[in-house]
Amino acid sequence: MRTYRLRTTALATATAALALALTACGGSDNADGPAGNPAATKNADKPASTGTVTPSGEDAPAAGSAGKGTGTGTATATPAKAGSGGGKNTGGTTGDSYAYTHPCSARDLTVKVTSPTGTPATVRVITVTNNGSTSCGLDYFPTVGFSAKGGALGLQATAPGGLGGAPAYPVHPGATAYAAVDLNPSGGTGPVADEINVLADKEHMPNADGVSLRLTKPGSVANPKVGLYRTTTHDALNAF
């Protein structure tokens, strides 16, 4: 049974299994967990063979590296709608209750990584947009690893502990979930990453649904951490 929960007032408590193992670079499973890379290489213009996440975001593909996320450095996904983070519990297939029992499908998601203006140099924001026509549920935070020159660095961002609350983070149709990542919160010494590897929902998605996104500004990685999904960038930056 899941031992982690996000405390959310007026939302039903439920439990589910949570696994945070990462894969080795290239998308193959890695029993060593954090030493791996949670993201299989994807093509930004074509769906994966399993119809999975469309990568996009901060970066342009490296020379000779097909399948890395592309973008301009700013999120272009549809802004989060009211209640997409659990604020409303409307009925039908677009409400929170539906999301709690229907995990997001990678084929309906667009994942990006951005560097919002005004944030610390070590911080990035991951955005996950639901392109589907129904609400869906994500795990409380994404699984995040780092790579350099195509090789996994063996580092995984740690997430908050002691969580409790709703069985999933609900994302309404067209809404976006935001999660902040700090590559080096203490300013320590570590290897320099030029890619961030994201699996939007380790709870319900195979490692092959992960994406590798090139960082426009490579950064040193030491004791990285990832925050909880939230409905805005501002809230995400305060959710570590």
Instruction: State the residue range of the domain holding 168.
Output: 33-237
Domain contains 215 = yes
Domain contains 123 = yes
Domain contains 9 = no
Domain contains 208 = yes
Distance of CA 103 to the CA centre of its chain: 14
Distance CA 47, CA 203 (A): 21
Please check whether residue 135 is in contact with residue 94, taking contact to mean a CB–CB distance below 8 angstroms.
Answer: yes
Whether pTM > 0.75 for this model: the answer is: no
Domain contains 186 = yes
Under 8 Å CB-to-CB from 17, ≥6 apart: which residues? 1, 2, 203
Q: Tell me: the pLDDT tens digits for 75-111?
A: 333 333 333 444 444 569 999 999 999 999 999 999 9
Evaluate if residue 124 carries a pLDDT over 50: yes
What pLDDT is attached to residue 165?
A: 87
Domain contains 82 = yes
What pLDDT is attached to residue 147?
A: 97
What pLDDT is attached to residue 36?
A: 41
Domain contains 226 = yes
Stretch 28-48: mean pLDDT: 36
What pLDDT is attached to residue 163?
A: 83
Stretch 12-30: mean pLDDT: 35
The length of the chain, given as a count of residues? 240
Evaluate if residue 199 carries a pLDDT over 50: yes
CB atoms inside a 10 Å sphere around CB 28: 12
Domain count, the chain: 1
Under 8 Å CB-to-CB from 232, ≥6 apart: which residues? 80, 178
